[in-house]
Amino acid sequence: MEEVFILNAGRVPAVKYDVDDVARLAARAIEPLMENAVFAREEVTALYVGNMLSGILSHQQLLAPLIAQHAQLTGCEAITAEAACGSGAAAMRQGVMAIASGFHSLVVVAGAEQMSRNSREEVSRGLATASCWEREGGKGETFITLNARIMKAYMETYGTERSAFSHFAVNAHENASKNSCAMLQKTITSDDYDAGRMLADPIGLFDAPPICDGASALLLGNKEMACRAQRLGMPVVKVLASTCATDALAIEDRQDPLALAAARDSFKKAYKISGVTAADIDVFEPHDAYTVMTALSLEAAGFAQPGTATHMAAEGMFTKTGSLPITCFGGLKARGHPVGATGVYQLAECFLQLTEQAGELQIPGATLAMTQNLGGAAGSAFTHILERI
């Protein structure tokens, strides 16, 4: 297979309301990829777009060709990937396979979501289509209530107090306060977490991400393209692994809802392909849509034993100065979670870390980064491992 490299990244701020529609939003994120004049638009032969809700909320299907039009990439292969909240990473996986197979030499991966023009009820119902509709979403369950069930099971199984999850939220907000692309650029305390409005017991306001609009994009290339960029002084990052795994969609069908089998299996595949272990990872971006998912993801990845992630968070192990920094730009919790764009934001943020372009959020000496983007309540899981070269 061909080696795959990330050559550039683009982001627009995640905001409560963006004036652009979803296609123009994506085009804005793609624009910075071409600003350095190293590559011409005509050299891009494919565009892969992560999006979940455009057809539901904006009545716009066939989104990728429309984005290609606005981004002046008309004529290239253009395909939309849908994997619910994991759509961004699904698009990345398509892009990686396109380069690795040798079919393409230079492709754009983008993720975009416009969620603010609809009511909260419409958005919640749209998001719920990523659950098992027949037995969950169609029966009135939302992702807040589904994650409340998971969080309650975690607390009961491991004897964990709700306040123990506060450290994940506090850390995310601390990092987002220094991220110009984050929606919630404000710090919070554990007391703020405890005082937050309850959404669905035990899920409170600071356990969940905000509804927002956003877009991010990546330029991927093969070895030849990476060497061209390096000759011109541009930093590049190698993709060591790109994996996906799935689990039963309905939570009640899972053998152990706290095991996150899809996440676990996706991690295992990524470690095997890349030849690295959990101990080698310098930076990790989990799918922290809910604080309990942060804990479960850390445990599924092998960074913590079952039931111990909250204890490790209390000891500061996942902060910027800890042994494993996570949610370094604020994560879904505070950067924002424009669902189809989230996986691409994670990868773009890791690209900035590994190329030492993270500013105040830079983790010194980071050489290996890992992201995991989940679809629904971990019905699918996409893992990527990146290396600074």
Active site residues: 85, 337
CB 273 within 8 A of CB 384: no
Q: What region does 226 belong to: left with phi over 0, alpha with psi -120 to 50, or beta?
A: alpha
Q: Which helix (H) or strand (E) holds 88?
A: helix 87-100
Distance CA 185, CA 297 (A): 24
CB 201 within 8 A of CB 148: yes
Distance CA 31, CA 46 (A): 15
Return the bridge partners of 221, or none: 5, 106
Q: Which helix (H) or strand (E) holds 127?
A: helix 120-127
Query: Which one-letter amino acid corresponds to residue 296?
Result: L
Write down the residue that tokens 């939570």 correspond to: 251
CB 47 within 8 A of CB 78: yes
Tokens of 168: 């994940």
CB 95 within 8 A of CB 109: yes
Tokens of 259: 């095991």
Q: Looking at 236-367, list the stretches that DSSP marks H as alpha helix, in order from N- to C-terminal side.
A: 261-274, 291-300, 309-314, 331-334, 342-354
**Rg, C-alpha atoms of the chain:** 19
Helix 63-70 to helix 22-30 angle, to the nearest 10 degrees?
50
CA dihedral (306, 310, 316, 322) in degrees, to 10, reads 30
Reported residue count of the chain is: 389
Closest CA to 210 of 191, 230, 188, 228: 188
Distance CA 355, CA 357 (A): 6
